[in-house]
Amino acid sequence: MSFADLSLHPAILANIAAAGYSSPTPIQRQAIPTICKGRDILGIAKTGSGKTASFVLPILQQLIGHSQQEKNRQPKALILVPTRELAMQVSEVAKSLSNQLPRHMSSMAVYGGVSINPQMKALYGVEILIATPGRLLDLQRSNAVDLSKVQILVLDEADKLLNLGFKEEMEEVISLLPDSRQNLLFSATLTDQLESLNRVLLSDPQVIKIAEEGEDTEQLINLSGYFVSDDRKGPLLRHLIKELKMKQVLVFVSSGAKADRIANKLYKNGIEAQAIHGKKSQGARTRALQDFKSGAVQVLVATDLISRGIDINALPFVVNYELPRSPRDFVHRVGRTGRAGDTGLAITFVTRDETHHFKVILKKMKRYMDMVDSTQLEF
């Protein structure tokens, strides 16, 4: 199947080609026609499956038919996301796919951590709004946005929205929307909490399930593991960066303080490294991410909260410097590599006393991993 078979507007098809997508991914094949028909959907799909375009494209297709209206503060499509990074990433996809359409379609991301005034001004004329819930409510209370004309609501990474405690804010946002609208719910996993949200929110949805949690259907991600003591992790990381000629590697740790420490240590050893975590200012996070994407920064050291929002095409290496607490976080971390058709390598450091916890994670992922004993290596 090609994108041309999905009955999308020729100008949208041209943008898809310009973005370099050659054929639709499984979630896109299923979701696009259904959403274009106006139906609700519940999409269970991992990040990296192409889910962002699977809702952005049919939103554009539906809105393109509307005649140009007077500019106002009443967006037609609202995409709620859990993090600023994801907001920016979705906004980039929306902008790249809405270039040079027969009529101008404006999209914008709003999120906290930056000053609100420029967002208030810029919201005028926006048709597709991407927002984190808290900032959206602040803007609504200041009359910078009116949600009463939203026709399509997307909850992206709905499981994370619920996990991060946005439930009440989401309910408040939903109460501000018109009753008659299309609802699109996307999540990496289907939790009990999500099931109950789905029941109140969606009407006769088509359920599209691309991959089970922990099931690495594409098998594009190669996994390798090292038994290593805490004090040898730094030298092992530097050794692997050199041996495997890693030009771009995302390293996961458990806390912001640790991320700073490891990035500093790498930097002192002549490796361009930056830390990205929740305690950094939004400006610093955006800069670090841009420098990493451009290749100016070779190693990005991140915490789990940040991991969801990082989207880099074909990231070749991910290192779990420390194990995540849950198998779900592990899936999200390694999902940063091997995206949309490219192979990647995810390396995990395991201390001896974490062996049991690690086995639980692997079992959940239904994957086997060869372990290397790092004491046998010279570095």
Give the residues lining the site for ligand AMP (CB under 6 A): 21, 24-25, 28, 47-53, 311, 313, 339-340
Shortest CB 157 distance to ligand AMP, Å = 10
Structure tokens at 321: 């410097």
Between 11 and 340, CB nearer to ligand AMP: 340
Report yes or no: 272 and 297 within 8 Å, Cβ to Cβ: yes
Comparison of 93 and 105: residue with beta carbon closer to ligand AMP: 93
**Residue 98 CB partners (closer than 8 Å, separation 6+):** 15, 60, 105, 107, 128
Per the CB < 8 A criterion, the answer to whether 130 and 91 are in contact is: yes
Minimum distance, C-beta of residue 205 to ligand AMP, in the bound complex (Å): 20
Tell me the C-alpha distance between 326 and 357, whole Å.
9
Cα separation of 356 and 354, whole Å?
Answer: 6
Report the residue number, 6 or 347, with the smaller CB distance to ligand AMP: 6
The CA distances from residue 136 to 180, 184, 218, in Å, are: 20, 18, 36
CB of 21 to ligand AMP, least distance (A): 3
Least Å distance between CB 308 and ligand AMP?
A: 10
C-beta of 97 vs 347, nearer to ligand AMP: 97
Distance of closest approach, residue 234 Cβ to ligand AMP, in angstroms: 31
Cβ atoms of 13 and 4 closer than 8 Å = yes
Amino acid identity, position 149: K
Residue 52 beta carbon to ligand AMP: minimum distance, rounded to whole angstroms = 3
Task: Choose between 217 and 313: whose C-beta lies nearer to ligand AMP.
Answer: 313
Sign of CA dihedral 37, 6, 219, 93: negative
Instruction: Report the alpha-carbon distance of residue 166 to residue 187 in Å, rounded.
Output: 15
- Smallest separation (angstroms) from ligand AMP to the CB of 133: 20
Q: Which is nearer to ligand AMP, 25 or 348 (CB)?
A: 25
To ligand AMP, the closest distance from the beta carbon of 23 in angstroms equals 6
Instruction: Name the nearest CA neighbour of 196 among 151, 158, 165.
Output: 158
Q: What SS3 class is residue 174?
A: helix
Q: CB nearer to ligand AMP: give 24 or 214.
A: 24
Closer to ligand AMP by CB, 48 or 256: give it: 48
Nearest CB to ligand AMP, comparing residues 75 and 335: 335
HEC secondary structure over 115-154: CHHHHHHHCCCCCEEEECHHHHHHHHHCCCCCHHHCCEEE
Contact (Cβ atoms closer than 8 angstroms) between residue 102 and residue 15: no
Report the residue number, 3 or 349, with the smaller CB distance to ligand AMP: 3
Contact predicate 301/320, CB 8 Å: no
- The H-assigned helical ranges of the chain are 10-19, 26-36, 51-64, 84-97, 116-122, 133-141, 158-163, 167-175, 192-201, 233-243, 256-268, 282-294, 304-307, 327-334, 355-365
Of 103, 101, 51, residue with least CA distance to 81: 51
